[in-house]
Copies of this chain bind each other. A is one copy, B any other.
Amino acid sequence: MAIIVHGGAGSIQEARIPAARLGAEQAAKAGWNILVNGGTAVDAAVAAAVALEDNAQFNAGYGAVLTEDGKAELDAGLMDGETLNVGAVAGVRRVKNPILAAKAMLAVPQTLIIGSGAEDFAQQRGLTMCEPEAMIEPCVYRRWQELKQKNSEPTRITDPDEKHGTIGAVAVDASNHIASAASTGGVMMKVPGRVGDTPLAGAGFYAEDGSGAAACTGQGEYFIRLVIARRAVEFMSHGYTAQEAADACVKLLTERLGGDGGLITVDAAGTVGFARNTQSMIYAYCLTSQTDPVSGW
């Protein structure tokens, strides 16, 4: 059994590190508690992702960054490595926990629903809905106002002044089933409708029993173009450990396209990996041999 979570690649202000590490540790522990009680990798990854979405430290769920027209448009994706089932939503504004909408999608034939169609789906499934404004955290809104006055372009994840924090969680359970979850608000000042890698299976997340799982964070466009999460799982299917696969993907990202970001991985043997080419990536993990969360950035 193993779970690793991340709270986004980028440049983190030093003052924010302790709270972000604590949030990541709590999320990893929430997932771990499910695993040790016989729960599934899917449930563990989702529990960790919900904890990270609900934490305003991170750019997912409440506290996410805003589009150039001041809306929080959220994306999330989830994959069950046993069945290869995928659930994902993109561009939702009224769903309190987008990862729970992704989870509900596992039960229907569709894999990806976008926009108001996804919101209607979430509502029909009884998920907690909210007004779009309720997803907006005051500090994020003030930052958006500042940028708006300057007519700012979409920010890059390497800007040290910006909020980062796409979140992700990958887990392997006692039955050796594997899952991957990812959730984000995207990039600050993004064009309305812009979707990054987070809700796209293969790009932002992927999981396959017997090989492993990955969840990505960074400038999403590069992860889409290289289908990074799928490549990480591909590397593990060829015998790479989780750490070797994560390193190989960051190398590819850097050398092939000069993209910025990172990823977390778990392999079928229950080891975890994490790698980034940015200044920081908040992470935390629990393993059978290390049940108290280990975290870093």
Which positions 106-140 of chain A face chain B at CB distance < 8 Å? 109-118, 120-121
> In the complex, which residues of chain B have a beta carbon less than 8 angstroms from the beta carbon of A52?
none
Which positions 172-201 of chain A face chain B at CB distance < 8 Å? 190-196, 200-201
How many identical chains are in the complex?
2
Closest to A89 in B: B193
The segment from A1-9, A221-229, A261-269, A274-282 that touches chain B is A221-229
Contact of A114 with B115 at beta-carbon distance under 8 Å, contacts A86-B225, A202-B202 already known:
yes
The interface residues of chain A, by DSSP majority, are classed as mixed
The answer to whether the Cβ of A59 comes within 8 Å of any Cβ in the partner chain is no
A133 vs B206: C-alpha distance in the bound complex, in angstroms? 38
Instruction: Please tell me if the beta carbons of A225 and B201 are within 8 angstroms of each other in the complex.
Output: yes
Closest to A221 in B: B111
The answer to whether the Cβ of A44 comes within 8 Å of any Cβ in the partner chain is no
The answer to whether the Cβ of A294 comes within 8 Å of any Cβ in the partner chain is no
A114 vs B193: C-alpha distance in the bound complex, in angstroms? 5
Instruction: Please tell me if the beta carbons of A193 and B111 are within 8 angstroms of each other in the complex.
Output: no
Instruction: Please tell me if the beta carbons of A110 and B201 are within 8 angstroms of each other in the complex.
Output: no
The answer to whether the Cβ of A54 comes within 8 Å of any Cβ in the partner chain is no
> In the complex, which residues of chain B have a beta carbon less than 8 angstroms from the beta carbon of A244?
none
> Would you give the shortest CB distance from A250 to chain B, in whole angstroms?
16
